[in-house]
Amino acid sequence: MMPIWTKSGEKHAVTLLKVQDCHVLRYVSKEESGGKTAKLLVGGKNVSPFSKPESAHEIFKEAGVPRKQKVTTFNVTDDAIIKPGTPLYAAHFRPGQFVDVTAKTIGKGFQGVVKRWGFKGQPASHGQTKTHRRPGAVSTNKAAKVYRGKKMPGKMGNIYRTSFGLKVWRINTKHDIIYVNGSVPGHTNCLVKVRDSKLPTYKDCNKNPPFPTFFADGDEELPEDLFDEEIFQFTDPSVTFA
Amino acid sequence: RVSSDGKPPKFQPPPKPVIIDRKTQKEERRFLSPEFIPPRGRTDPLKYYIERKDMIQRRKVFNIPKFYVGSVLAVTTADPYASDKSKRFVGICIQRGGKGLGATFVLRNVIEDQGVEICYELYSPRIQAIEVLKLEKRLDENLVYLRDALPEYSTFDVNMKPVPPTDHEEIPVNKLQVRMKPKPWSKRWERPKYNIKGIKFELPEHKMKAAQKWSQPWMEFDMLREYNISKIEEKIRKELNEELEK
């Protein structure tokens, strides 16, 4: 995470996400998948092929791509279908766009009720016998049972969570890095899924996105760094208020 | 010596003396600001490389002078609410923290009997000028104990004239021993954990001995805590020198 300053001098914290060897693996049509839209399987980081059996390599062999660590699905409309085997780059996103980021949260192991659900616990003194961080009462008398989903101690973390509506401040096309506002679930160097935001406020945010995606062998030549309009660039002199 | 053709051997001039210029060698070891050195951790070095590029960009446009903890600085920042749209603060640098673009330094001064500490970010675009009024080092890297010292040690004249540095190579170390206010202090500065050399402790002997009970002499030999910066420093210095000369 890094600080970023706007032209008015305000500071924002930014997370750096690297797009590492992303390829489209397979196209699944609407009828085949049984959903409302077609799906595209996309694979992430490259990993050695020796730790999995040959049967697991079929998808990758068809696309002509080395084995990937993570495979995710994206719901896509029919006019945005991409041929399997095309690489995906960070330039698929543009600065000023809003994005949802999904990842597995940091695993905290088996945790008690105070840390996991934020219960208040009991006082430290005034006669409490061996009861300081316990859940207390679990249900009422009339219910005569414990409801399903009762908050109790258990394994915390290591589940998928999404941060919605994060602004993209800057994109580095040379190293394929996306600078995303705020924090993102997961530990450093973990695998993360980045999608266009589904929030209704940011529905019309992206005016001219590279559709269906940014192709590296196309005619478009992008500069090494793409900045949002409000970012203070370090090539400019210091900020002054008129 | 055996000579060919019976004639005396051809005169061989002595080899040219090799002059090792110590001054240029010393200039190469330029001051490397501590925020360039990446901390220990499992982050990808690419992140630090990209941050360093941004830091170098900013340094090309705006001059961040070399200074140490204990030097007196004057910082002018842009402020939308001030009448002149800019604010100037003079103070002694107490501590330098943070790595990369978020590097900060705290300046302390006593203005009208009120101690004031302001934490500035080195790479913030609101800073318009940083002047080093007095470049010097102190006996410690962290002068936070000045909060519990007598106020005369933290007062600096707001209209102080910059003191020109005497030597270009050696930075003067101010071996000042500071006198403290009566206890209680904000932190127990006499304990060996803080390892402070710049305080003149006027505590009784038995109290100083009792403080040594909290010493942890094994920490010095703990190999897992070692972080050897020499090779990383060299690489970063080379990178900096190349980039700043462009």
Residue among B62, B78, B101 whose CB faces A2 most closely: B101
Q: Which of B123, B82, B61, B63 is nearest to A242 (CA)?
A: B82
Inter-chain contact B126–A172, Cβ cutoff 8 Å?
Answer: no
Task: Establish if A64 belongs to a structural domain.
Answer: yes
Per-residue DSSP letter, B172: P
Question: Could you tell me if A96 and A163 lie in one domain?
Answer: yes
C-alpha B109/C-alpha B158 separation (Å) is 9
- pLDDT for the residue numbered B4: 62
Per the structure block, which two tokens stand in for A65?
A: 């791509």
Task: Establish if A128 belongs to a structural domain.
Answer: no
pLDDT digits (tens, 9 = 90+) for A50-59: 999 999 899 9
Q: Is B142 helix (H, G, I), strand (E, B) or coil?
A: coil
C-alpha A77/C-alpha A27 separation (Å) is 12
Q: Which residues contact A163 (CB under 8 A, 6 or more apart)?
A: A100, A101, A182, A183, A184, A185
pLDDT of B115 over the 80 cut: yes
Question: Could you tell me if A228 and A164 lie in one domain?
Answer: yes
β strands within B44-195, DSSP E:
72-78, 86-97, 104-111, 114-121, 127-134, 137-138, 173-174
Range of the structural domain that residue A220 is part of: 1-19+92-104+159-241
C-alpha A172/C-alpha A59 separation (Å) is 30
Q: Report the pLDDT averaged over residues B223-231.
A: 92
pLDDT of B67 over the 70 cut: yes
Q: Report the pLDDT averaged over residues B119-129.
A: 93
Question: Could you tell me if A68 and A11 lie in one domain?
Answer: no
pLDDT digits (tens, 9 = 90+) for B180-208: 999 899 999 999 999 999 999 889 999 99
Question: Could you tell me if A100 and A194 lie in one domain?
Answer: yes
Question: Could you tell me if A12 and A50 lie in one domain?
Answer: no
pLDDT digits (tens, 9 = 90+) for A204-240: 887 778 888 888 887 778 899 999 999 999 988 888 8
Question: Could you tell me if A163 and A230 lie in one domain?
Answer: yes
Interchain CB contacts (distance < 8 Å): A and B = 61
Question: Could you tell me if A99 and A178 lie in one domain?
Answer: yes
Quickly count: other Cβ atoms within 10 Å of residue A56's Cβ.
11
Question: Could you tell me if A168 and A54 lie in one domain?
Answer: no
Are A232 and A170 a contacting pair, CB within 8 Å?
A: no
The reply to whether B244 touches chain A by the CB within 8 Å rule is: no
Task: Establish if A27 belongs to a structural domain.
Answer: yes
Give the model's confidence band at B28: pLDDT under 50 very low, under 70 low, under 90 confident, else very high.
Answer: low
Write down which residue in A88, A113, A131 finishes a domain: A88
Question: Could you tell me if A96 and A44 lie in one domain?
Answer: no
Q: Report the pLDDT averaged over residues A179-198.
A: 93
What's the CATH number where A32 sits? Answer: 3.30.160.810
Q: Where are the domains of chain B?
A: 45-174
Element spanning B231, H or E = helix B230-245
Residue among B46, B78, B100 whose CB faces A2 most closely: B100
Question: Could you tell me if A84 and A173 lie in one domain?
Answer: no
Task: Establish if A152 belongs to a structural domain.
Answer: no
Question: Under CATH, to which class is B45-174 assigned?
Answer: mainly beta
Give the model's confidence band at B26: pLDDT under 50 very low, under 70 low, under 90 confident, else very high.
Answer: low
Give the end-to-end CA distance of chain B in Å, rounded to a whole number: 56
Question: Could you tell me if A96 and A174 lie in one domain?
Answer: yes
A175 to chain B: closest CA residue: B46
* Composition of chain A by helix, strand, coil, percent to 5: 15, 30, 55
Q: Report the pLDDT averaged over residues A135-143.
A: 93
Question: Could you tell me if A169 and A83 lie in one domain?
Answer: no
- How many residues would you count in chain A? 242
pLDDT of B23 over the 70 cut: no
pLDDT of B106 over the 90 cut: yes
Inter-chain contact B125–A9, Cβ cutoff 8 Å?
Answer: yes
Quickly count: other Cβ atoms within 10 Å of residue A106's Cβ.
13
Are B72 and B160 a contacting pair, CB within 8 Å?
A: yes
Q: Average pLDDT of chain A? A: 91
pLDDT digits (tens, 9 = 90+) for B125-147: 999 999 999 999 999 999 999 99
C-alpha A111/C-alpha B245 separation (Å) is 54
- pLDDT for the residue numbered B79: 86
Inter-chain contact A18–B124, Cβ cutoff 8 Å?
Answer: no
Per-residue DSSP letter, A188: T
Are A10 and B127 a contacting pair, CB within 8 Å?
A: no
- pLDDT for the residue numbered A138: 93
pLDDT of B27 over the 90 cut: no
% of chain A exceeding 70 in pLDDT: 100
Total tally of structural domains belonging to chain A: 2
